[in-house]
Amino acid sequence: MSDPLLAIRNLCLEFRAAEGWVRVVDGVSLTVREGETLALVGESGCGKSVTALSIARLLPSPPSRIAGGEIRVAGQDVAAMSSAGLRSIRGGVVSYVFQEPGASLNPVFRVGRQIRESLQLHRPDRATDDEVVRLLKLVGIPAPETRARDYPHQLSGGMQQRVMIAMALASEPRLLVADEPTTALDVTIQAQILDLLRDLKRRLGMAVLIITHNLGIVGDLADRVAVMYAGQVVEEAPAAELLRTPRHPYTRALMQSVPELGRASERLRAIPGAVPAPGRWPSGCRFTPRCPVARAECSGNPPSLDTDGLRSVRCPYWNS
């Protein structure tokens, strides 16, 4: 078995705050193989976005630092890479699509030019207008020749996100990291973009790491799902299985607290309390104060991530 495309092992990330260094990601391990799609799910503050950004070392280094673990992209250690090495994997191996496409595109450059910039960096012999048009067509933008000369603010949110995807694909990456790509978009546009991502995945065979707080989009897109809470992975499983039979109490509570269309319920089963902020994580199992099945031992012993090969759960009592 060849090396996985992305291998994060025991990653620990810290941010500098007034009170010193605060740990934001605490021993996260993830793997993505070629052509595979992994969904990283969690709420705000769980550390999923910064984990994703650290894959290409996109986190600015004074306020943040890698405090432990390693990230290997295509076999190479990202933390030890030179800037030249980083520049070549950014785009060349790993491409990003961000949450707010309007803000993630430079407002003073035409979109065609921004796509061409990606081409010039990684596939210079194909940095032509024709290639830009081909990419825009690939992501389903009508009248691509005219659209290429538009500025970002002239495009709708959905179009902007398609442009971002085109830009990400221009360098023919092996892994596409999509950080909440549809959260800022309208529901019908969300459906379009998810459809597009599904289609592109199939056609281009690239691996995808999709970050989201919405378990609903996971089923359609992902092969495997990892759920994060308070800086740790608390559950990991193949997508369909996790959605059908979630094991970790947090995953279950989350799924039960979200209203589902057509599922009649008198009252939602809300999770009490709020997500603990980094630096204020409870001792032992971090979900203890909010967990519906917590026991006395839970706040004493931090549970480890137990795996049976296919599924992992960070809770010794999930089966009770």
Partner 1 sequence: MLTRFANRLFWSLVTLLGTAVLTFLLINLVPGDVARVIAGPKASPEVIQQIHVRYHLDDPLWKRLGYYLAQLARGDLGQSFVTEQPVAEALRIRFPCTAALALLAIAFWMLAAIPLGVLTARFRGSWLDRAVLVAATLTLSLPAFWLARMMQYGISYKLGWFPVAGFRGFRHLLLPAATLALLAVGYYARLIHTQMVEVMDSPYLRTARAKGLSETAVLLRHGLRNALIPVVTILGMDVAFLMGGVLFVENVFALPGIGMLAVQSVFNLDVPMIMGTVLFSAALVVAANLVVDLLYRWMDPRIRSGGTGTPA
Partner 2 sequence: MALLDVQDLKVHFPVKQGLFARASQALKAVDGVTLSVGKGEALGLVGESGCGKTTLGRAVLRLVTPTGGRVFFEGQDLTALPARKLRGWRRQFQMIFQDPYSSLDPRLPVGESIGEALDIHRLAPDRAARAARIGALMESVGLRPEQASRYPHEFSGGQRQRIGIARALAVEPRLIVCDEPVSALDVSVQAQVINLLQDLQRQRELALLFISHDLAVVEHLCARIAVMYLGRIVEMGPARDLTSTPRHPYTQALLSAVPVVDPDSKRARIVLGGDVPSPLNPPSGCPFHPRCPIAEERCRRDVPALRELGAGRLAACHLA
Chain residues in the site for partner 1 (CB under 8 A): 56, 58, 83, 86-92, 95-96, 98, 100, 103-109, 117-118, 121-122, 151, 153-154, 164, 167, 171
Output the CA angle 17-55-228, nearest 5 degrees: 70
Binding residue (CB under 8 A) for partner 2 from 74, 204, 275, 305: 275
Q: Which residue, 48 or 116, is less far from partner 2 as judged by CB?
A: 48
Residue 191, interface with partner 2 (CB under 8 A)?
A: yes
Q: Count residues contacting partner 2 (CB under 8 A)? A: 47
Residue 199, interface with partner 2 (CB under 8 A)?
A: no
CB of 145 to partner 2, least distance (A): 19
Residue 40, interface with partner 2 (CB under 8 A)?
A: no
Task: Taking the CA atoms of 83, 84, 85 and 90 in sequence, report the sign of the dihedral they define.
Answer: positive
**Burial category of 2 from C-beta neighbours within 10 Å (exposed 0-12, middle 13-18, buried 19 and up):** exposed
**Piece of 11-19, 98-106, 153-161, 201-209 that binds partner 2 (CB under 8 A):** 153-161
Residue 18, interface with partner 2 (CB under 8 A)?
A: no
Q: Which residue, 245 or 301, is less far from partner 2 as judged by CB?
A: 245
Residue 231, interface with partner 2 (CB under 8 A)?
A: no
Q: Which does 237 bind (CB under 5 to 8 A by kind): partner 1, partner 2, none?
A: none
Q: Which residue, 167 or 222, is less far from partner 1 as judged by CB?
A: 167
Residue 274, interface with partner 2 (CB under 8 A)?
A: yes
CB of 95 to partner 1, least distance (A): 7
Q: Which does 257 bind (CB under 5 to 8 A by kind): partner 2, partner 1, none?
A: partner 2
- In angstroms, the first-to-last Cα distance of the chain is 36
**Piece of 40-48, 64-72, 165-173, 310-318 that binds partner 2 (CB under 8 A):** 40-48
CB of 161 to partner 2, least distance (A): 11
Report how far residue 179's alpha carbon sits from residue 211's, in angstroms, rounded to the nearest whole number.
5
Report how far residue 235's alpha carbon sits from residue 314's, in angstroms, rounded to the nearest whole number.
6
Q: Which does 56 bind (CB under 5 to 8 A by kind): partner 2, partner 1, none?
A: partner 1
Q: Which residue, 74 or 243, is less far from partner 2 as judged by CB?
A: 243
CB of 9 to partner 2, least distance (A): 28
Report how far residue 118's alpha carbon sits from residue 109's, in angstroms, rounded to the nearest whole number.
13
Q: How far is CA 271 from CA 49, 114, 258, in A?
A: 23, 44, 10
Residue 159, interface with partner 2 (CB under 8 A)?
A: yes
Q: Which two tokens stand for residue 228?
A: 């994060």
Q: Can you give the binding site for partner 2, defined by CB under 8 A? A: 43-45, 156, 158-159, 186-192, 194-195, 213-220, 239-240, 243-244, 253-255, 257-262, 264-265, 267-272, 274-275, 290
